Amino acid sequence: MFYPLALLLLAVTAQASTLTLKSPRFAVSDSTGSQLRGEPFSLTSRTASPVKLGARENLKITFQVVDKEDEKGVQPHQTFIRFYDASTGEEGIQPVRVTPGGKAKFDLNLSKPPLYLPPTSDEPLKVSLIIGTPDYDPLSVQLFDLVLPRSQPAPVHPDEVVFHPRPELYHTFRPEQKVPNKFISLVFSGIALAPWFVLLGLWSQVAPRATGLFSPSILPFIASLGAFEGLLFTYWLKLRLGDVLLYGAILGVVTVFTGRQALSSIAAKRTQ
């Protein structure tokens, strides 16, 4: 019997305590301080009629946070007033300062609208109180609907037009260039190339002739030099640097031996 009773007592003591509000009240006053409306609000239901606040009127909310069991004042860790516009989804949250004795006061002066208020429309803002602190269950109270003057439209930024969709661009291309007749093109190409043919013909008459260039002892050396030129051209097309170095090393060895053979053949002919 002792153990079940002890477990029951432990479960009861482990439950978090409950917070409540003492003397919750709101009041609306004009710029001269005269009270226009004042009444307490309930923790279980929202105030029946919406609270209207003019451009130069003040809203004051007062309450004391107490322990529901012994009614002693409690200073919560977090206390907020939330303004929510259900039509737009915009909200604003403002912390409320609470004294160590649990007393709190919130003032809203529309002569200088605070920044935490969301943009207002024709729909009222839903005002709620949110309280949270360790060792206590959180408390959320729906206070009332607040009707505020409609917000002025936001000023238009001078660069706003830059961030809007721009007209679609359509590119206009020039018509294709007319190609001259092929026969005329061939005639003028021949005229442009004729001096080169004349130059090659005259050069063949005066240039020294390479004797023995295609002899069996010299032709391998000429072929190895041509292979080097072909290797560089192939590298420009598709080969990698590592492949070029490998093939170049092999051709280098071949070129050395064929070059020595060619030089020996030319030296032998000169000594004869």
Task: Tell me the per-residue pLDDT of 126-173, one tens digit each, with 9 for 90 and over.
Answer: 999 999 998 899 999 999 999 988 877 767 778 877 888 888 888 888
- Phi/psi for 116 (5° steps) reads -75, -10
Predicted pLDDT at 156: 73
Per-residue model confidence (pLDDT) at position 16: 63
Which of 5-19, 38-52, 102-116, 258-272 bottoms out in mean pLDDT, i.e. has the lowest? 5-19
Is residue 11 over pLDDT 70?
A: no
Structure tokens belonging to residue 127: 């005002």
Order of strands across the sheet that contains 139-147:
51-52, 139-147, 125-132, 78-84, 91-95
Whether residue 7 has pLDDT greater than 50: no
**pLDDT at residue number 256:** 93
> Does the pLDDT at position 215 exceed 70?
yes
Output 3 or 209, whichever has higher pLDDT. 209
pLDDT at 83 over 90: yes
Average pLDDT estimate for 29-40: 87
108 against 216, higher pLDDT: 108
Residue 13: pLDDT above 60?
A: no
Taking the whole predicted model, whether its pTM rises above 0.75 is answered as: no
Alpha-carbon distances of 122 from 9, 53, 126, rounded to whole Å: 54, 13, 13
pLDDT of residue 178: 81
d(CA 209, CA 98): 112
Q: What is the pLDDT of residue 180?
A: 77
Please give the Cα distance from 182 to 187 (Å, whole number). Answer: 9
Give percent of the chain with pLDDT exceeding 90: 30
Quick: pLDDT tens for 183-200: 888 899 899 999 888 888
Give me 145's structure tokens: 């609907």
CA geometry: angle at 241 spanning 236 and 245, to 5°?
110
